[in-house]
């Protein structure tokens, strides 16, 4: 059957789709910005190195506290049992000595580190004063003494493996208003006498090692 003229739409009878205006336009623009920001955040999650990625993730997830559900990935809990108080564990300690690589304003940093090994694995505690209040810091176990390249490379349970926990022991903490920082971390594996030192540095400048402590094995 032939169509009537009312059944056929001419190009001129079709209204063009209107662009959103006013509040609707603002909502659309906001959605686009949110999607773009999310994409940028996901794109930046790769990081430059495992160590830096580890530091950045910890800083964004409230340093000085354990990360729930991550076990050996935890980077510090100031309320945990300190290494020197772990029942039945063998404990060694070391006094921090300043390094020439320390950044300005770190001349008064002093402190102690303890390393305990027992049924729970390895527990490490650091306690320092003279830090910049409110700043975040990291510490790592090292495989060389402080006199050998300021501690040399990080201690690793599996040499050549991942440069992040649980294959390494990292601690992260924030200095309080008085410039004191303290935290404890546990790893279910024992270091033996291979982790001979510990080094602390600013969380955002890991090449600027502040101080190093040799353990008294």
Query: Which residue do the tokens 């495989």 mark?
Result: 143
Which tokens in the block code for residue 196? 């001979």
pLDDT digits (tens, 9 = 90+) for 20-50: 455 444 444 444 433 333 333 233 323 333 3
Q: What pLDDT is stored for residue 149 in this prediction?
A: 94
User: Looking at residue 206, what is its pLDDT?
Assistant: 82
CA pair distance 154, 146, nearest whole angstrom: 12
CA gap 81, 75 in Å, rounded? 14
pTM of the model: 0.69
How distant, in Å, are the alpha carbons of 8, 26, 41, 130, 164 from that of 206? 73, 43, 23, 18, 14
Residue with tokens 């032939």: 2
| Residue 6: pLDDT band with limits 50, 70, 90 | very low
pLDDT, position 72: 61
Residue 51 — very low, low, confident or very high, per pLDDT cuts 50/70/90?
Answer: very low
**pLDDT tens readout for residues 141-200:** 999 999 999 999 999 999 999 999 999 999 999 999 999 999 999 999 999 999 999 999
- Mean predicted lDDT score pLDDT of the chain: 78
Alpha-carbon torsion 216, 75, 80, 118, what sign? Answer: negative
CA–chain centroid gap for 170, Å, is 8
pLDDT value of position 73: 59
Beta bridge partners of 184: 125
Position with higher pLDDT, 10 vs 217: 217
């Amino acid at each position: 059957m032939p169509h009537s003229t009312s059944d056929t739409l001419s190009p001129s009878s079709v209204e063009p789709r209107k662009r959103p205006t006013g509040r609707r336009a603002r909502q659309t623009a906001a959605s686009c910005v949110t999607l773009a920001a999310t994409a940028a955040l996901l794109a930046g999650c790769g990081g430059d190195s495992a160590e830096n990625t580890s530091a950045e993730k910890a800083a964004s997830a409230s340093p000085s506290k354990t990360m729930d559900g991550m076990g050996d990935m935890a980077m510090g809990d100031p309320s945990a049992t300190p290494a020197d108080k772990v029942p039945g564990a063998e404990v060694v300690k070391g006094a921090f000595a300043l390094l020439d690589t320390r950044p300005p304003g770190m001349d008064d940093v002093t402190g102690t580190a303890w390393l305990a090994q027992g049924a729970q694995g390895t527990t490490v505690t650091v306690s320092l004063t003279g830090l910049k209040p409110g700043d975040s810091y990291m510490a790592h176990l090292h495989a060389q003494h402080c006199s050998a390249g300021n501690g040399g490379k990080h201690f690793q349970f599996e040499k050549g493996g991942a440069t992040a926990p649980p294959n390494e022991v990292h601690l992260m903490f924030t200095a309080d208003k008085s410039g004191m920082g303290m935290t404890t971390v546990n790893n279910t594996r024992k270091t033996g006498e291979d982790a001979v030192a510990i080094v602390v540095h600013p969380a955002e400048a890991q090449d600027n090692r502040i101080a190093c402590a040799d353990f008294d094995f």
